Amino acid sequence: MNKRGLCRTEETLSSDFIPPGFEPETDYARFEVVTREDFSDVTFLIEFYHPMMARAARPGQFVIAISHEKGERIPLTIADFDAAKGTVTLVIQAVGKSTREMQQICRTGTQLFSVAGPLGAPSHIGDAKKVVCVGGGLGVAPVYPQARAFKESGAYVIGVVGFRSKELVFWENKFKQVCDEFIICTDDGTAGIKGLVIDGIKQAIESHPDIDEVVAIGPPIMMKASAETTKPHGIKTMVSLNPIMVDGTGMCGGCRVTVDGKQQFACVDGPDFDGHKVDFTDLMNRLKRFKEDEKLAMERWAAAQN
Amino acid sequence: MAKKTIRTIPQDRTDIPVQEPGERVKNFAEVALGYPLESALNESERCLMCPEPACVKGCPVGINIPGFIEKITEKDYRGAYALLAEANLLPAICGRVCPQEDQCEGVCPVGDTLEPVAIGRLERWLGDMAIEEGWAAIPYRENNGFKVGIVGSGPAGIACAADLAKAGCDVTIYEALHKPGGVLRYGIPEFRLPNEVIDAELASLTKLGVKIECNTLVGRLFTIEQMREEMGFDAVFIGTGAGAPKFMGIPGESLNGVLSANELLTRCNLMGAGDFPSYDTPLHLGKKVSVIGSGNTAMDAMRVAMRLGAEKVYCVYRRTEAESPARLEELHHAQEEGIEFHWLTAPVEILDDGDGNVRAMRCIRMELGEPDDSGRRRPVPVEGSEYEFETDMVVYAIGTNPNPIIGQTSTLKLNKWDYIDADESLATSFTGVFAGGDIVTGAATVILAMGAGRKAARSIKDYLGIRDTDEIYQVKDEDEANTLFGIDRDERNFARLRTV
Ligand SMILES: Cc1cc2nc3c(=O)[nH]c(=O)nc-3n(C[C@H](O)[C@H](O)[C@H](O)COP(=O)(O)OP(=O)(O)OC[C@H]3O[C@@H](n4cnc5c(N)ncnc54)[C@H](O)[C@@H]3O)c2cc1C
Ligand SMILES: Cc1cc2nc3c(=O)[nH]c(=O)nc-3n(C[C@H](O)[C@H](O)[C@H](O)COP(=O)(O)OP(=O)(O)OC[C@H]3O[C@@H](n4cnc5c(N)ncnc54)[C@H](O)[C@@H]3O)c2cc1C
Ligand code: SF4
Ligand code: SF4
Ligand code: FES
């Protein structure tokens, strides 16, 4: 137990008293990054040590990480977890100030300021016989645990992932191990089929008329298009929504999304929702909420780097 | 001492120094600055020392108010603090945030002809002195071998943890956020409750040996069942607060610029959004901010918005000032700070600027009709009175729903409003699991949450068979310091040394 985090404020409390059984060395050595891998100049992986979280994590759940004292709370999907090793893996796209900064500072051996998780309701891995797991952009890694879980439940799994071009492809082998079929789509056709993940989904539907479920994770526009592709076929389609979050515990309502005309809090009611019922226009609008502030933060940060 | 009467006591309630409104809206420093010594002495002379004090009944935790005030008049401050601390573990906090006008001060008979005794201010003064002088009564404790887990680090959890630690239990608090304190930390702003005060209270908790583990969302990282069955906790207390903010379900609620007061306050108080971009969390404050509701949460949101530089801050409330549930002092402070109040007004729609942001709000005027269940007159809309006004940020402060996580992840029995079902003793449907504070009662007050935490601690002691040594062995003045007292361990009791 005491491998995990005691709260930070203790450091700042002026207390000369050390509670019994308190070992500063192990108690503060936490959220340690044990592996760091770079897939491209924007996509990177960090694996950190948190045995308890590794045991609790289920596909579809996420964490909220803070990289330093003044940092923001960043939601990131759990891309892999290994209870035996006691580690949790995140795959991150450096898109703005906080994620770029993480890309810069989160090296092997460093520590994250805090990580809370697993958060959100686990994906429902039902008794679907045949599923398509679709990952685009930052959704490629997060869809992996679901593909693996479906495989373990005995389903026939078709993986569909999308990248801009060949050099950006990662985890091909990892996916192949859990997928019965694996379709890579690239914008420029340098690997797999030339086109978007939508083309991959269409191809899967054509060759398999008996698909029970599609799981799509990625940018809202891609999830929207995926849901539109499957709708005429009446295939159940689950998407993992990524609205702006703060606490991730249901306390602020910042993550609210409209599903089936009703307000839901993505961090507790989701993040998985029925893609045919999600109001994507609403989601995409809400993601623009801090556009100006994000730009300012990015510019300030970039300027400070030089 | 001659018996005091209403005629012989100082007639005027002793003023508390405050920062001038014009100055304080530019900073986050505390608004009310606290009594200097002379003021505290003067104010304590105003207490009539009633033989049957109404104030004690008015206080949810039954503090011996005339007792501690008398000790102040005798200049025995430490003794006064000891009396106070017997019933209230967080005097520096409650003295600041209790709605005294509805509780202790509301029933003080001095208030019939004059202003009531400023009990809250005296309490705060003593609490602050205790922090400054490091008086927190830390008994020597010997571990009794019981392990207790506390879920949530708000006032309920803090109080329960402190009492159990004093009884010799090994106590661990789990908190979902990265800093402990609950609403005290993320909700109530610094100008009402400085972080140093919360830190000091938490420091005395860690001095008692309580461990605080943040970043732990119970229900997800592990469940209540696992705490009892796998993690070796002999008892568990749940104090997870009320949490989930309510929205109204009117059109335009998902526009950018519409948010809950919890979100606004969390971004500012917990994440430092007021210092963006030095801190990474943005807020994107509007120029004309409308806050819906008129409770403490609404006041806090409005006053934060004002301090962060909003040009206009409006309060939109469907009843009148008289029904406003906020603490009187906060309402007055908000009015002084230039917030515009729109009483008897309710929003019906939030309007789009064409780009997904708030442009304006459409409201309807209300009038008060027949009293409702709560005895307050029910506001009814005045037909045809709708009007639009310009605003670019709409903040909801209309109450909360229970946080669903514990309910979703355990088979713990909930009541029909989805709060945790707990009996008189605060026991839940699981043996050994107790709950209290906002998660049981719905949004209430700090003192009630603290009282619930203490009550649960007593029930947990009963459940574990820990007898309170104070009852068995009354410490006498002639006893030597550091005498061992208490009962046998085999009797599942605890032993501790007397401290001076
Ligand atoms: C449940 C969930 C799972 C996610 N999983 C991953 C993942 O596995 N890998 C990954 O790379 N990204 C993931 N994201 C997105 C990631 O959180 C954002 O990219 C990150 O917060 C951007 O921060 P920034 O400061 O670097 O960029 P910014 O410049 O601040 O923002 C870039 C974009 O990210 C969005 N964003 C900003 N702040 C937040 C926030 N607090 N919460 C959510 N979105 C925000 C904005 O809409 C903006 O368009 C996930 C988001 C959610 C909600
Ligand atoms: C803005 C605001 C202003 C207020 N002003 C006043 C005032 O002036 N006077 C007054 O008397 N009252 C005031 N109140 C009300 C008062 O703060 C609450 O009634 C009181 O804090 C409730 O205490 P609690 O311990 O039950 O819960 P909280 O203080 O809500 O604490 C609960 C804690 O549990 C954590 N938690 C929740 N779920 C989990 C989980 N699953 N696992 C781990 N941790 C979890 C939360 O993160 C939180 O830290 C105010 C409330 C607000 C929101
Ligand atoms: S705790 Fe609150 S109600 Fe009780 S005496 Fe103090 S201020 Fe009054
Ligand atoms: S009711 Fe008022 S006057 Fe009487 S003891 Fe209490 S504080 Fe003093
Ligand atoms: S992120 Fe705050 S409620 Fe979901």
Distance between CA atoms of A93 and B198, rounded to whole angstroms? 37
**Sheet with A62-66, side-by-side order of all strands:** A33-38, A43-49, A87-93, A74-82, A62-66, A114-119
Among candidate residues A62, A60, A58, the one with its CA nearest the CA of residue A75: A62
Domain coordinates in residue numbering, chain A: 24-119, 130-287
Distance between CA atoms of A33 and A44, rounded to whole angstroms? 13
Q: How many Å is the Cα radius of gyration of chain A?
A: 20
Among candidate residues B271, B130, B157, the one with its CA nearest the CA of residue B212: B157
Q: What is the complex's ipTM, to 2 decimals?
A: 0.88
Q: With 0-12 CB in 10 A as exposed, 13-18 as middle and 19+ as buried, what is B87?
A: buried
- CB of A193 closer than 6 A to ligand 1? no
Q: How far is the CA of B253 from the centre of ligand 5 (A)?
A: 16
Span A24-119 CATH architecture: Beta Barrel (2.40)
Q: Do B220 and A1 touch (CB under 8 A)?
A: no
Please tell me which residue, A183 or B471, carries the higher pLDDT value: A183
Tens of pLDDT along B436-460?
999 999 888 999 999 999 999 999 9
All domains of chain B in start order, with CATH: 21-133 (1.10.1060.10), 147-243+402-464 (3.50.50.60), 247-400 (3.50.50.60)
- CB of A219 closer than 6 A to ligand 1? no
Which residue in chain B has the smallest CA separation from A3? B213
* Least distant ligand from the CA of B53: 4
pTM of the model: 0.88
Q: How far is the CA of B188 from the centre of ligand 2 (A)?
A: 9
The encoded tokens of residue B224 equal 């209540």
- CB of A98 closer than 6 A to ligand 1? yes
Q: Do B176 and A247 touch (CB under 8 A)?
A: yes
The encoded tokens of residue B446 equal 């700090």
Q: With 0-12 CB in 10 A as exposed, 13-18 as middle and 19+ as buried, what is B72?
A: buried
Q: What is the DSSP string of B32-54?
A: B----HHHHHHHHTT----SS-H
Q: Which of B214, B256, B281 has the CB atom closest to A72's CB atom?
A: B281
Tens of pLDDT along B103-118?
999 999 999 999 999 9
| Cβ < 6 A, ligand 2 pocket | A 249; B 97-99, 151-157, 174-177, 182-183, 187-188, 216-219, 239-241, 265, 296-297, 300, 327, 403, 405-406, 437-439, 443-447, 449
Q: Do B199 and A249 touch (CB under 8 A)?
A: no
Q: Which residues of A touch B247 (CB under 8 A)?
A: 253, 256, 263
Tens of pLDDT along B333-392?
999 999 999 999 999 999 999 899 999 999 999 998 888 887 778 889 999 999 999 999
Q: Is the link from the previous residue into B99 a cis peptide, with omega within 30 of 0?
A: no
Determine the pLDDT at residue A65: 94
Q: In chain A, which residues have pLDDT < 70?
A: 1-29
* Least distant ligand from the CA of B59: 3
Determine the pLDDT at residue A28: 38
Q: How far is the CA of B405 from the centre of ligand 5 (A)?
A: 12
Which residue in chain A has the smallest CA separation from B230? A1
A95 interfacial to chain B (CB closer than 8 Å): no
Given ligand 1 and candidates A78, A101, A244, A291, which is best to mutate, with the most ligand atoms within 8 Å of its CB? A244
Q: Which of A7, A115, A290 has the CB atom closest to B212's CB atom?
A: A7
CA distances from B99 to A248, B13, B29, B93, B282 (A): 31, 17, 21, 12, 32
Report the 3 state secondary structure along B200-233: HHHHHHHHCCCEEECCCCCCCCCCHHHHHHCCCC
Q: What count of other Cβ atoms lies within 10 Å of the Cβ of residue B359?
A: 17
Tens of pLDDT along B218-259?
999 999 998 888 888 999 999 999 889 999 999 999 999 999
Q: What is the four-CA torsion angle of B57, B61, B64, B69, rounded to 10 degrees?
A: -100
Which residue in chain A has the smallest CA separation from B354? A285
Determine the pLDDT at residue A14: 30
Whether B121 contacts B105, CB under 8 Å: no
Q: Do A56 and B222 touch (CB under 8 A)?
A: yes
A297 interfacial to chain B (CB closer than 8 Å): yes
- CB of A119 closer than 6 A to ligand 5? no
Q: Do B247 and A256 touch (CB under 8 A)?
A: yes
Non-local CB neighbours of A281 within 8 Å, separated by 6+ positions = none
Tens of pLDDT along B1-50?
557 888 888 888 999 999 989 889 888 889 989 999 999 999 999 999 99
Whole-number mean pLDDT of chain B? Answer: 87
Q: What is the four-CA torsion angle of B317, B318, B319, B324, rounded to 10 degrees?
A: -30
Spell out the CATH class of A130-287: alpha beta
Q: Do B212 and A71 touch (CB under 8 A)?
A: no
